[in-house]
């Protein structure tokens, strides 16, 4: 089949790889001049089943209320009368019961575990490097109370197969010597050895090169998708600013923008953008952290990407606005200096903002939607880098009509 993948973020580039391996003639279309130039450019770099917890939960409501009087908490809402935001928020609220939170987390975890297997197999096959590390991630806490709550919370995931070690501050610093300077500010943490880190932009761009050379995938960059031509309940072509691309099937993987295109063709896709910020700073080889980490009390995540440190934070509801200003990074740099004193030179930092494509329950959608040959691979939210390869592999099973390698419950479009 001639399949057109809409979007060359990490989700679209991964899907193209699996579809092309199945023998399809794949074309990937993106408005940017290179892959992963939008949300997949600057995320925190965590490939982390350990971070599979759904955002919508009873605790999310408490965190939101706390954020109103603690502005450095990193959760910000610009109130708007946008009906899509209001509808999304109401749907989010329906997912905030403990039952829904547990169910959504379990589905995400299933996909994240599968994705971990897939990304490592993909790397074995292609040999691509992406400043990746397989050393695990430490989730650490500043008070005994938050450590206890965090460890209890991670136990739900541990009961479903994630290896974890709850550690005191001595063991934490033994595992991650990069945190030695703040040892006495930390109560301890949860070490998740199955988690990994890497640069999703580097991954996507190297995969593009590899798939172009080895699987014959065609990429059409600098091409804006304007709509889909639909006839007889099938997508016949993809309308772009450079003309129409004929197709036998289409995969919608346009990140936060997926909802906008879906709306044009009568497909309801409740994805809303949730903005975040990151800073990438060159650091000396022998300084800084040796693995990924999350400062759970300040909601700041980081990765070591080769000789760069990437820190990311903030969940902000600001529509599709991708702009940023110096003050957006204030708490992020404060924490960077606190955790790694003398390591971070702000003047060398590359600042960035991106939009997480969030579903109300944080679970991405896959598979056929409304039309006979329209497939979705979208809504990966805060863990799209973690789940991209698993999603692409799963989608290729759905397109082929094969029995999926993982249980599809909760992962397909209803
Ligand atoms: C601050 C922050 C930190 C994060 N940290 C992590 C993390 O540590 N681990 C993790 O797993 N995930 C993380 N994420 C989430 C992750 O980055 C996203 O889920 C993932 O990048 C989404 O990938 P995507 O391919 O769906 O979207 P995108 O990367 O946005 O790709 C969509 C593509 O579609 C293209 N496009 C859109 N509209 C059009 C159009 N009309 N015409 C043509 N092309 C179009 C865009 O150019 C873009 O290339 C983080 C996100 C943020 C913001």
Residues in contact with 278: Cβ distance below 8 Å, sequence separation at least 6, in sequence order: 42, 43, 44, 310, 311, 312, 313, 332, 351, 352, 353, 354
Q: What is the mean pLDDT of residues 275-291?
A: 97
Separation of alpha carbons 381 and 270, rounded Å: 12
Distances (CA, A) of 267 to 23, 69, 103, 371: 28, 38, 25, 9
For residue 325, give the 3-state DSSP assignment: coil
Look at ligand 1, atom 21, and give the residue with the nearest C-alpha.
40
State pLDDT tens for residues 125-172: 999 999 999 999 999 999 999 999 999 999 999 999 999 999 999 999
Mean pLDDT of 107-118: 98
What atom of ligand 1 comes closest to residue 381's alpha carbon? 19
Compute the C-alpha angle 83/321/245, nearest 5°: 85
DSSP 113-178: HHHHHHHHHHHHHH----S-B-S-EEEEESSHHHHHHHHHHHHHHHTTT---EEEEHHHHHHH-GG
Is the separation of the CB atoms in 190 and 176 below 8 Å?
no
- Cα gap 51→137, rounded to integer Å: 10
What is the residue with the minimal CA distance to atom 1 of ligand 1? 276
Tens digit of each residue's pLDDT (9 = 90 or more) over 363-383: 999 999 999 999 999 999 999
The DSSP element (H or E) to which 38 belongs, if any, is none
What letter does residue 327 receive in the DSSP assignment?
A: G
CA distance 35 to 117: 23
Per-residue pLDDT band at 59 (split at 50, 70, 90): confident
Question: Which of the listed residues 6, 27, 39, 239 should we mutate to test ligand 1's pocket, taking the one with most ligand atoms within 8 A of CB?
Answer: 39
Say how many Å lie between the CA of residue 118 and the centre of ligand 1.
19
- HEC states along 46-72? EECHHHCCCCCCHHHHHHHHHHHHCHH
- Work out the mean pLDDT of the chain and round it to a whole number: 96
Ligand 1, CB within 6 Å, residue ranges: 7-12, 29-32, 36-40, 43-46, 224-225, 253-255, 257, 276-278, 301, 312, 354, 356-357, 380-386
What number does the ligand 1 atom closest to the CA of 276 have?
A: 1
Q: What pLDDT digit, counting tens, does each position of 70-82 carry?
A: 666 677 777 778 8
Say which residues have a Cβ less than 8 Å from residue 372's Cβ, sequence separation at least 6: 233, 234
């Amino acid at each position: 089949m001639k399949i057109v993948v809409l979007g060359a973020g990490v989700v679209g580039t991964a899907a193209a790889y699996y579809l092309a391996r199945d023998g399809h003639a794949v074309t990937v279309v993106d408005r940017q001049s290179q892959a992963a130039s939008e949300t997949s450019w600057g995320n925190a770099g965590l490939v982390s089943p350990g971070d599979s917890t759904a955002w919508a939960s009873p605790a999310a409501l408490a965190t939101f209320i706390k954020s109103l009087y603690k502005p450095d908490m990193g959760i910000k809402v610009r109130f708007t009368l946008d009906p899509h935001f209001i509808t999304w928020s109401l749907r989010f609220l329906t997912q905030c019961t403990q039952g829904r939170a547990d169910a959504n987390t379990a589905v995400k975890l299933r996909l994240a575990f599968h994705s971990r297997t897939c990304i490592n197999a993909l790397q074995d096959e292609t040999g691509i490097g992406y400043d990746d590390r397989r050393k695990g991630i430490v989730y650490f806490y500043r008070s005994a109370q938050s450590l206890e709550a965090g460890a209890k919370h991670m136990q739900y995931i541990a009961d479903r197969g994630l290896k974890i070690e709850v550690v005191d501050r001595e063991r934490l610093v033994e595992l991650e010597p990069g945190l030695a300077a703040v040892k006495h500010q930390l109560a301890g943490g949860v070490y998740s050895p199955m988690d990994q880190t890497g640069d999703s932009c580097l991954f996507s761009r190297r995969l593009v090169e590899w798939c172009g050379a080895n699987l014959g995938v065609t990429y059409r960059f600098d091409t804006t998708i304007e709509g889909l031509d639909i006839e007889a309940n099938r997508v016949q072509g993809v309308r772009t600013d450079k003309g129409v691309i004929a197709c036998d099937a289409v995969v919608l993987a346009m990140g936060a923008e997926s909802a906008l295109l879906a709306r044009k063709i009568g497909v309801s896709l409740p994805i809303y953008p949730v903005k975040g910020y990151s800073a990438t700073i060159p650091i000396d080889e022998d300084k800084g952290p040796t693995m990924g980490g999350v400062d759970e009390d300040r909601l700041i995540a980081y990765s070591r990407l080769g000789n760069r440190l990437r820190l990311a934070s903030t969940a902000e509801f600001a529509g599709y606005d991708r702009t940023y200003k110096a003050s957006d990074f204030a708490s992020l740099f404060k924490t960077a200096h606190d955790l790694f004193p003398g390591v971070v030179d702000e003047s060398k930092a590359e600042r960035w903002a991106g939009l997480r494509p969030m579903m109300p329950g944080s679970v991405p959608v896959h598979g056929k939607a409304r039309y006979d040959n329209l497939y979705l691979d979208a809504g990966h939210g805060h863990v799209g880098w973690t789940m991209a390869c698993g999603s692409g592999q799963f989608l290729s099973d759905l397109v082929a009509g094969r029995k999926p390698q993982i249980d599809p419950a909760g992962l397909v479009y209803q």
